[in-house]
Amino acid sequence: MKIGRNATRIVEAKHRVPGYAGRADGPGIVATGPSSMRGFTLIEVIVAFAVLALALTLLLGTLSGAARQVRWADDAGRAALHAQSLLDQTGVGEALQPGQREGEFEDGRYRWSLQVEPWRDQTTQDATLLDPVAPRLMRLTLAVQWGDGGPRQQLQLQSLRLVAADQRGALSLP
């Protein structure tokens, strides 16, 4: 269709979309065609949902990982407090004897094992040089486990205690 200078623009009926008036570009002019219709194609909507699903998956994975770390930190902190309490009470009110003891905290949630043995200086080869009535060092090794006791669910502490030997050879804290 050729339009001259003085001619009026007329949009042919075959270019009109039924039920859509279009937009007015000027007096008596109606724009039609693909550029006047706005919206998203089906593939664009599917891609948008896929990107949203991926983002939500990553976000939830990060949040659940953070929750596991907070739980682990809480368990490890409680285990350290129980271990400190047990080491503070060991040898108080009773003589410290070599051997092993076991027990649990919080109805079995935390399990502990305490080993007490004489500490030996690795630089001294001859044990006969030790004075039998001199105070001695005892090594305390405390292991605390929780959960299934995996490598990240256990805590091991070691401490030395000075004990005095009495006349019968029993060891007690000075």
Note whether 116 and 138 are within 8 A (CB).
yes
The candidate with the shortest Cα–Cα distance to 133, out of 98, 103, 171, is 171
* 5 or 152, greater pLDDT: 152
Classified as helix, coil or strand, 3 is: coil
* DSSP assignments along 144-155, one per residue: EEETT--TTSEE
- Among 25-29, 78-82, 139-143, 162-166, whose mean pLDDT is lowest? 25-29
Give the pTM. 0.58
- What's the pLDDT band for 125 if we cut at 50, 70, 90? low
Q: Roughly how many angstroms between the first and final C-alpha of the chain, as a whole number?
A: 114
* DSSP assignments along 64-94, one per residue: HHHHHHHHHHHHHHHHHHHHHHHHHHTTSSS
